[in-house]
């Protein structure tokens, strides 16, 4: 089975972790995904000084990283995730043979004058287009910019570069709704083949509450899931949007009870592709590449309802063959916790609620369409 690799292209004046953004994204991707992070710039630890390379130097570096990765893994599926000026580098590099390129916070305009306007707000910053520039950053580090860099970003048309990328790969643009650093692309100028997503309230680096939202958007774009046979043996891996109607994938589910025997159900967010707005067991999630059913349900319980360290007992596993085909492995656990104290993930879950068994049985009889189809089965079997 082919390997899946994600390469990261960082922006101006930062190191390969992109001030923590890329390490957060990489950590959220499945263990089966290989991640390649590298530096465009030179970093001096002693002086906390970063020296910026020219666009040509960065394009050459990205081209070499992609070529080396492909040479080492000729059959791999490769995606590219870029941030800020790293998106422009990708546009200039015009890579081929990639499946998907995700452009995070791509600048619509990139000129020396536009950058000078932004960095002029920082005390002691010195910008000289014909000489060495020194930029003082919020984290206390210093960025040194040689004159060759300023020349390398003149006469660029970033949006045209992004549009050209769509000739060779699927392109997704993720804009920050409150980007304080760059001008975001005008949707009317972007090629119709490019998917555009805006995360409201996010700043350029998607910090604070915007970082989890960014990861939620990226994960489905680059995560693969195991495809199995009718004995639950892995056949191959596919990206979610490549799954065929007859493919069988894996799902883990949590049936959570309290000491009184009440059952916690979660109402799915209306933005969910499957069963929007319906009630289901406490947690459910699609198993991703490199995960077991158990690893997945532990992760999903932590992310969706803020619960960790549960004493999980494996229960029934069965093959669902209704509208979608998947194995679902149930886990059962007991927890005494008021519904209002669960830390739910609003993008996934609207609310959680404890039901008595009698109450749930009555609701399932009277309002079956309010619940996922496996909820009634679980009430009888678990």
* Type and span of the H or E element at 304: helix 293-305
CATH code for the domain in which residue 100 is found: 3.40.50.1820
For residue 214, which of 23, 5, 373 has the smallest C-alpha distance? 23
Per DSSP, the residues of 160-209 read HHHHHHTTTSEEEEEEETT-SSSPPPPGGGS-TTSEEEEETT--TT--TT
Is 58 in the same domain as 205? yes
Given 163, 190, 222, the domain boundary residue is 222
The predicted structure's pLDDT at residue 327 = 97
**pLDDT value for 121:** 85
Domain co-membership, 207 together with 269: no
What tokens appear for 238 in the block? Answer: 């596919």
Task: Pull the structure tokens for residue 33.
Answer: 């995904």
Whether 94 and 109 have beta carbons less than 8 Å apart is answered as no
What is the per-residue pLDDT for 187? Answer: 85
Same domain assignment for residues 294 and 338: yes
Token pair, residue 346, equals 């609003």
How far apart are alpha carbons 13 and 36 in whole angstroms? 19
In contact, 8 and 36? CB cutoff 8 Å: yes
Query: Of the residues 166, 196, 222, which one is the last residue of a structural domain?
Result: 222
Sheet strands (E) in the chain = 4-9, 33-36, 42-44, 49-51, 77-83, 100-104, 133-136, 142-145, 170-176, 195-199, 224-228, 234-239, 248-257, 263-268, 279-281, 283-286, 313-321, 325-334, 349-355
Q: Assess whether 204 and 306 both reside in one domain.
A: no
Strand, helix or coil at 159?
helix
CATH number, residue 348: 3.90.79.10
Determine the pLDDT at residue 57: 97
Q: For residue 202, what pLDDT is reported? A: 96
Quick one: 316 and 331 in the same domain? yes
Q: Do residue 327 and residue 205 come from a single domain?
A: no
- 135 CA to centre of own chain: 31
Give the pLDDT score at 39: 97
Residues 194 and 242 in one domain: no
Cα separation of 127 and 238, whole Å? 48
The end-to-end CA distance of the chain, in Å, is: 36
Produce one character per residue of 150-178: b if its CB has 16 or more CB atoms within 10 Å, e if not: bebbeebebbebbbebbeebbbbbbbbee
Q: Are 191 and 106 within 8 A, CB to CB? A: no
Residue 341 Cα distances to 251, 267, 305, 332, 376, angstroms: 26, 16, 9, 20, 26
Predicted local distance difference test score (pLDDT) of residue 31:
85
Question: Are 360 and 217 in a shared domain?
Answer: no
158/12 same-domain check = yes
What integer pLDDT is reported at residue 215 of this predicted model?
Answer: 93
Local structure of residue 191 (DSSP, 8 states): -
Query: How is residue 144 written in tokens?
Result: 């040194």
Contact status, residue 103 vs residue 195, Cβ threshold 8 Å:
no
Number of CB atoms found within 10 A of residue 110's CB: 22
Helix (H, G, I), strand (E, B) or coil at 286: strand
Residues in the chain predicted with pLDDT less than 50, given as ranges, are none
- Of 174, 191, 222, the domain-final residue: 222
The count of other CB atoms within 10 Å of the CB of residue 180 is 9
pLDDT of residue 229: 97
List 353's β-bridge partners, or say none: 265
Instruction: Judge contact between 296 and 304, C-beta under 8 A.
Output: no
pLDDT for res 106: 98
Could you give phi then psi for residue 276, rounded to 5 degrees?
-60, 135
Q: Are residues 218 and 238 in the same domain?
A: no
Answer yes or no: do 25 and 172 share one domain: yes
Instruction: Please report the sign of the dihedral spanned by the C-alpha atoms of residue 43, residue 44, residue 48, residue 49.
Output: negative
Task: Please report the pLDDT score of residue 275 as a whole number.
Answer: 87
Q: Which residues contact 275 (CB under 8 A, 6 or more apart)?
A: 268, 372
Q: Are residues 193 and 265 in the same domain?
A: no
Q: Which domain holds residue 203?
A: 4-222
Q: How many domains does the chain have?
A: 2
> Could you tell me which of 107, 149, 110, 142 has the C-alpha nearest to residue 126?
142
Instruction: Name the region of 18 (left: φ>0; alpha: ψ -120 to 50; beta: rest).
Output: left
């Amino acid at each position: 089975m082919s390997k899946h690799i994600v390469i990261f292209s960082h922006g101006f004046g930062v190191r390969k972790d992109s001030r923590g953004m890329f390490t957060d994204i990489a950590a959220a991707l499945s263990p089966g995904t290989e991640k390649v992070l590298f530096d465009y710039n030179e970093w001096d630890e002693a002086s906390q000084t970063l020296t910026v390379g020219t666009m040509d130097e960065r394009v050459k570096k990205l081209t070499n990283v992609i070529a080396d990765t492909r040479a080492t893994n000729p059959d791999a599926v490769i995606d590219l995730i870029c941030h800020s000026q790293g998106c422009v580098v990708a546009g200039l590099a015009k890579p081929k043979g990639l499946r998907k390129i995700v452009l995070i916070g791509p600048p619509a305009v990139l000129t020396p004058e536009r950058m000078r306007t932004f960095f002029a707000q920082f005390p002691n910053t010195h910008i000289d287009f014909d000489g060495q520039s020194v930029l003082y950053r919020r984290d206390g580090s210093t960025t040194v910019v040689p004159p060759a860099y300023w020349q390398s970003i003149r006469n660029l048309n970033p949006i045209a570069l992004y549009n050209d990328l769509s000739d060779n790969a699927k392109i997704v643009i993720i804009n920050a709704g409150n980007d304080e650093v760059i001008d975001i692309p005008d949707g009317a100028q972007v090629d119709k083949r490019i998917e555009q997503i805006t995360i409201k309230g996010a700043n350029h680096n998607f910090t604070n509450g915007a970082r989890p939202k960014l990861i939620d958007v990226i994960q489905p774009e680059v995560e693969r899931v195991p495809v199995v046979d009718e004995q639950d043996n892995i056949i191959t891996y596919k990206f979610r949007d490549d799954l065929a109607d007859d493919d069988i994938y894996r799902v883990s589910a949590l049936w959570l009870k309290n000491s009184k025997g009440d059952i916690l159900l979660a109402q799915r967010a209306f933005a969910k592709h499957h069963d929007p707005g319906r009630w289901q067991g406490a947690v459910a999630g699609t198993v991703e590449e490199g995960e077991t059913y158990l690893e997945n349900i532990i992760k999903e319980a932590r992310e969706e309802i803020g619960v960790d360290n549960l004493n999980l007992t494996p229960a029934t596993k069965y093959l669902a063959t209704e509208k979608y085909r998947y194995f679902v492995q149930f886990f059962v656990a007991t927890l005494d916790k008021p519904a209002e104290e669960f830390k739910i993930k609003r993008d996934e879950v609207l609310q959680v609620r404890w039901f008595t068994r009698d109450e749930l049985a009555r609701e399932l009889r009277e309002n079956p369409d309010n619940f996922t189809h496996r909820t009634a089965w679980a009430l009888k079997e678990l």
